[in-house]
Amino acid sequence: MPVAARLWDEEILPSLVDYVRIPALSPAFDRDWATTGELRRAVQHLHDWVAARLDWLPGATVEIVELPGRTPVLFVDVPASDGAAGPDTDTVLLYGHYDKQPPTTGWEDGLGPWTPVLRDGRLYGRGAADDGYALYASFAAIETARATGGAHARCVILIEGSEESGSPDLPAYVEALGGRIGSPSLMVCLDSGCADYERLWLTTSLRGLVAGTLTVRIATEGKHSGAVGGVVPSTFRIARMLLDRVEDAATGRVLLGSANVEIPEERARQAAALVEAVGDGIDALPLLPGVDVRTRPSAEIELDRTWRPALHVTGADGLPSVEVAGNVLRPFTSLKLSLRLPPTADVDAVAAELAATLCVEPPFGAEVTWVPDASGPGWNAPPIAPWLESSLAASSDAQFGRPLGHVGEGGTIPLMGLLQRSFPSAQFVIVGVLGPGSNAHGPNEFLHLETGRRLTAAMADALVAHAERETR
């Protein structure tokens, strides 16, 4: 049995199953996380798994680092193996996160967010694929590289606890641990997706994010809708008017100038190649019968998902449930907004324009407030070095049996933009296991186990290629 597959079956999977059971909600969804203790329980679980495996890695260390008032991070430092080329200070940084999204509803019978279930080569449960597997795969890639006779440079594994909240704690850790991290020449992030489970997919871009809560108030208390309806506008109506300033409701086009960018020709070509290889993915979506969202060519749909802004309302307050809703004009409506941004958009400029657009000259003189929440920059991959491109292509052929694919992601990983600004000459490998149907953040989330095994082996190949690049 290949080394990576054996490690997954014998060492990783039992611990990952136990990790799924831990309701380690990201701090945005558990404001009392420090008291709840589940985030600390999750990071301790990962720490203990690594600590039990350090005997075969002389000089390697694992530590939980916790800055005051911030979610803890796991910091693993593995010295270079014997035979690694290049300077002793050369470093690979491998990144992931252990915090999780909330459980949500709609799980199938027999499945649940904190109930790990192995079925048909998949591990179901919250956080296994997003992103609990990252620590295990990163460490196993190092072990696989050594066990197969390959060399690797010094490796630092950084696993954070606030990614699902927009990584508000991460910049402080990057600064505090900067001296220990060093200057990585290769960044490996295992928190992305794959367009199918048949090949290695290299992420070429990530969208940015601006989020926050829009609140509209018009009265001090609720009033009978029969008495004031037609006179006092509803706060929901006003909120709709404000959203119309940001988004064309008929087309979904975001109207903010700062949120729209020119799409690079290379990314447009890659989007066309992706849909030629695997389609646009719409048939795999859980759409109701008769729903048709193919209003544009498939390549344009892919660019809509990865390179164009999109606005969503992800939560609301002030709206009673249908069961208890009376005929009352409500005094306020609050909407949680999530605005996904093109990879190269200026997130600060968009945040400022969004706030100004929502709050200026409110209709009817209503009280309108905008409270910013999670935000993060997008990321566009720098040019890939020949040694890395050839390694990834060979790994896709060897481990998956298919050519390497390139995919843009609609999600956000704030650390990537931060690291690219901090280390502009570094190479990036952003990959992941979130493929068709894996449903990260939603019900029935699963990890495709064979993809995890193959991806681990491919990352081991990348570590070896990085260590040998000076001799190529």
Task: Supply the DSSP string of 65-112, one letter for each residue.
Answer: E--TTS--EEEEEEPPPTT--S-TT-EEEEEEE--B----S-PPTT-B
Q: Which amino acid is at 286?
A: P
Give the SS3 label for residue 472.
Answer: coil
Q: What span, in angstroms and rounded, lies between the C-alpha atoms of 446 and 430?
A: 20
Q: In the predicted model, is pLDDT for residue 283 greater than 90?
A: no
**Cβ-based neighbours of 327, under 8 Å, separated by 6 or more:** 224, 225, 226
pLDDT given at position 427: 96
Q: Which residues of the chain are in CATH 3.30.70.360 domains? A: 208-261+308-375
Q: In the predicted model, is pLDDT for residue 13 greater than 70?
A: yes
Q: In the predicted model, is pLDDT for residue 56 greater than 90?
A: no
At residue 421 the predicted structure's pLDDT band, cuts being 50, 70 and 90, is confident
Looking at the chain, how many residues does it have?
472
Domain 208-261+308-375 belongs to what topology?
Alpha-Beta Plaits (3.30.70)
**Cβ-based neighbours of 36, under 8 Å, separated by 6 or more:** 25, 30
Say which range, 57-61, 114-118, 157-161, has the weakest mean pLDDT.
57-61
pLDDT given at position 374: 78
At residue 53 the predicted structure's pLDDT band, cuts being 50, 70 and 90, is very high
Q: Which residues of the chain are in CATH 3.40.630.10 domains? A: 3-206+378-471
Q: In the predicted model, is pLDDT for residue 471 greater than 60?
A: no
Task: Taking residues 268-277, report their average pLDDT.
Answer: 95
pLDDT given at position 88: 64
Task: Taking residues 439-445, report their average pLDDT.
Answer: 95
CATH superfamily of 3-206+378-471: Zn peptidases (3.40.630.10)
H helix intervals, 84-213: 133-147, 170-176, 178-181
pLDDT given at position 83: 67
Task: Taking residues 61-88, report their average pLDDT.
Answer: 90
Q: In the predicted model, is pLDDT for residue 340 greater than 70?
A: yes
Q: What is the pTM of this model?
A: 0.89
Tell me the sheet residues that pair with 25.
100
